[in-house]
């Protein structure tokens, strides 16, 4: 009456187990970090200054072990599934309640109109909901929260207060002179100096975080011409302020699309940074762009020039539709302007598309 035990070969067991343990450990640690971020946010709301504590290399590696790219692709497919009419209002209402979405601003307020989550995320606004500032030359390209802003110094950009990343690592190697409309600085200068075309100008930056409940489209922040696109495949770690305060050079790790060109004062760039469940970054005039592709090559980037066949780039008007995320993420502006340019912002403030960022 003895029962026979059937066991799998030892080789098969150990061939699968390390991956599952790594994913489970990484996922658990990511959940723990989310809880820590929540506690930090509560302290900030009470006005208590939170000391900076950077992640170690092993913590970053552990976070990267979570298959966020695969999960984001799965989330994207799930968002495309058409919901039954009777289920749409309960699902969207739960999302609205969770993230504080203001549906009175939506062009279509009827929740039954949106066939799937993807359509709901990309909902359009009423024209009068976001008036574009006509007085100032640079406006916010999206709704969101101002994480940081100011001058770029020593080729370093502030991610959040006290946490910086390399300007060159973020934008990638300098684009060839033929693809830019203005004269270039001598090649012997620093990367930052090569971007600035006039001695009386400085390089400025502004970081805007889009939360899941924010309007997910982004627009042109000024009148400029886009001459080049650079796509960096990368990780899809969360970019919420807590993680941005924890992981140095977070924006350099994550997948991003860098648009560069020029405006009336010289160099101008807008970078859309991907995040967890935001592997899809869409640029309306760039149909060849495909983000979060399975053919991911670490450390690579793909260039595309909009200056060809006698074209002088893609002209964009201030406030014009530029692109969209599938969920919240981050936009980084890096641009050249005269030394008397002043930001009219406070770190941590909420801002809406169309409102002024600064003035001359």
Taking the C-alpha atoms of residue 54 and residue 60, their distance in angstroms, rounded to an integer, is: 10
Q: Write out the two tokens for 170.
A: 């973020």
DSSP secondary structure letters along 191-203? HHHHH--STTEEE
Which are the contacts of 208, defined by CB distance < 8 A and separation ≥ 6?
Answer: 140, 141, 142, 144, 145, 146, 147, 330, 331, 332, 333, 351
- Annotated catalytic, 219? yes
Catalytic residue among 37, 143, 214, 262: 143
Torsion sign over Cα 142, 145, 150, 153: negative
Q: Which residues of 105-115 are buried (b: 16+ CB within 10 A; e: fewer)?
A: bbeeeebeebe
Catalytic residue among 205, 216, 219, 253: 219
- Annotated catalytic, 340? no
- Annotated catalytic, 280? no
Q: Which of 130, 175, 172, 184 is nearest to 307 (CA)?
A: 175
Taking the C-alpha atoms of residue 279 and residue 291, their distance in angstroms, rounded to an integer, is: 6
Please identify every residue annotated as catalytic.
143, 219, 329
């Amino acid at each position: 009456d003895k029962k026979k035990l059937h066991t799998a070969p030892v080789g098969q067991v150990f061939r699968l187990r390390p991956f599952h343990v790594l994913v489970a450990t990484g996922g658990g640690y990511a959940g723990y970090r989310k809880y820590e971020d929540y506690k930090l946010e509560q302290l900030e709301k009470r006005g208590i200054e939170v000391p900076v504590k950077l992640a170690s290399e092993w913590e970053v590696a552990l976070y990267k072990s979570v298959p966020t790219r695969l999960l984001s692709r799965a989330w994207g497919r799930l968002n495309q599934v058409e919901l039954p009419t009777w289920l749409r209002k309960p699902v969207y209402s739960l999302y609205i309640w969770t993230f504080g979405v203001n549906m009175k601003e939506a062009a279509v307020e009827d929740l039954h109109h949106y066939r799937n989550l993807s359509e709901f995320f990309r909902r359009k606004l009423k024209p009068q909901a976001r008036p574009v500032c006509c007085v100032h030359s640079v406006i916010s390209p999206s709704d969101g929260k101002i994480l940081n802003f100011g001058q770029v110094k020593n080729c370093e950009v502030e991610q959040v207060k006290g946490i910086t990343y390399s300007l060159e690592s973020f934008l990638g190697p300098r684009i060839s002179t033929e693809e830019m409309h203005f004269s270039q600085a001598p090649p012997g200068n620093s990367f930052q100096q090569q971007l600035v075309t006039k001695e009386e100008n400085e390089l400025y930056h502004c970081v805007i975080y889009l939360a899941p409940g924010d309007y997910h489209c982004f627009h042109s922040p000024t009148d400029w011409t886009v001459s080049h696109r650079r796509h960096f495949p990368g990780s899809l770690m969360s970019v919420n302020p807590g993680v941005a305060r924890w992981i140095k050079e977070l924006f350099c790790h994550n997948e991003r699309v860098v648009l560069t060109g020029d405006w009336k004062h010289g160099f101008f760039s807008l970078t859309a940074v991907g995040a967890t469940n935001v592997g899809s970054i869409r640029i309306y005039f760039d149909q060849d762009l495909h983000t979060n592709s399975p053919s991911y090559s670490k450390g690579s980037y793909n260039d595309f020039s909009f200056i060809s066949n006698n074209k002088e780039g893609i002209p964009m008007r201030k406030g014009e539709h530029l692109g969209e995320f599938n969920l919240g993420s981050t936009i980084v502006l890096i641009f050249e302007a005269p030394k008397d340019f002043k930001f009219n912002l406070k770190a941590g403030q909420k801002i809406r598309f169309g409102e002024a960022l600064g003035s001359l």
